[in-house]
Amino acid sequence: MKTYNYSELTKQDIARLVQRNIDPANEIRAIVEEVISNVQQHGDRALFDYADRFDKVTLEKLYLDKHELEEIAATVLPEQKAALDIAYQNIYRFHQSQLKTEDKVETMPGVTCWRELRPIEKVGLYIPGGSAVLPSTFLMLGIPAKIAGCHELIVCSPPQKNGKVNAFIAYVALMLNIDRIFLAGGSQAIAAMAYGTESITKVDKIFGPGNQFVTKAKTIIQSTTTTAIDMPAGPSEVLVIADETANPKFIAADLLAQAEHGIDSQAILVCTSYETAAAASNEVEKQLAILPRAEIARQAIDQSYIVVTGSLSEAMTFSNQYAPEHLILATEKWQAITGSIINAGSVFLGNLTPESAGDYASGTNHTLPTSSYAKAYSGVSVDSFVKKVTFQHITADGLQNIGPAVQTLAELEGLHAHANAVSVRYADK
């Protein structure tokens, strides 16, 4: 891993280091726009064609029904079901706590305001299925959607070579009482949920991570349709801050846990000494040699790097500029620096908290902002699946109290009908 000295980096150097997943020639955009246009025009037919072209499978129909999902899920082993059950329970418990009723507020005598939650009616869940099949993502999206009370869940996931989905995804579908999965992946699945096809319902909001093509499709449809997105969640990334109290084996394992996601993943180490950097780098090579997905992880590591800083404070400054999806504080002094965290998707504290715990079963959501979007976005939560509608009620006394201010403000803006909406109520008493 290439190593940089933080004190020698210019502002331009840092800006270059923290930039990722760019599309300078708009090559990805051009491809995705063509896919979106094709799905808009040809609907299901386009999805069948893309399954044949991209997934190398000829589909007879675009979905799996409940009976088929039950057959596929029957192959899941008891210990695997137990692990998925634990993940389900922890994720549910954490997200259930987010569903809160807010208090009514009397802003002045006789004027009461409050907010109530309303679920988004139709949501689309995109479950990646490329080089790694992710039932955990299905749990992370499906559970808060169910807690929020969304009326209709449209689920899309790429077909495997046999024209089905992975047994674990089928099992999670049954856990969530979802009886249909559409066999569509990539940017074409995003387009189908955004515009609707003969088989797939147009949704109000799309959720789920994916590669650069999926992310680009989400950003395009957000600006061209009435369908919203959760966030631009693209290729996965981790930034590890480490000092002399960190364990190099743990650091390497955490870096590789991200690197094995895909060749466009990033695993960044920011540490306070060259000794830590060298020890962690050596461990990466040792552990990489025995990974089943070593070829993928190696390509990700080759585009990752190490930054050596003079202190944990400098390390945190760099981290906030990078704005990582996952931030690991590999130090016994983590309590001293958590208050300095400004930009991060999800944070893992101390040497015994691996990022993979959050990926699977601790309870927090792993659908998080990447590519510096943590500067403006939060990860998925129950809040992502609801709208917060404001209410207000004014009594006769309240109208007397607030009316003059409303009239004055309306008149100074030249909106006399607004002022009259108060005046007529005075006259009608």
Which residues are the active-site residues? 325-326
3-state secondary structure 264-308: CCEEEEEECCHHHHHHHHHHHHHHHCCCCCHHHHHHHHHCCEEEE
Of the candidates 235, 318, 324, 304, the one whose C-alpha atom is nearest the C-alpha of residue 270 is: 318
Q: Are 422 and 407 in contact (CB under 8 A)?
A: yes
Distances (CA, A) of 313 to 16, 243, 304, 319, 340: 21, 11, 22, 10, 8
Q: DSSP letter string over 4-58? A: EEGGG--HHHHHHHH--S--TT-HHHHHHHHHHHHHHHHTHHHHHHHHHHHS---
Distance from C-alpha of 9 to C-alpha of 27, rounded to nearest angstrom: 30
In the numeric block, the tokens 């004027």 are attached to: 111
Of the candidates 170, 228, 203, the one whose C-alpha atom is nearest the C-alpha of residue 384 is: 228
In the numeric block, the tokens 């590890």 are attached to: 240
In the numeric block, the tokens 């590669």 are attached to: 211
Distance from C-alpha of 170 to C-alpha of 167, rounded to nearest angstrom: 5
Q: Are 234 and 374 in contact (CB under 8 A)?
A: no
Distance from C-alpha of 387 to C-alpha of 120, rounded to nearest angstrom: 7
235-259 in b/e burial notation, b at 16+ Cβ within 10 A?
bbbbbbbbbeebebebbbbbbbbbb
Nearby residues of 113 by Cβ (< 8 Å), 6 or more positions away? 104, 105, 107, 390, 391, 392
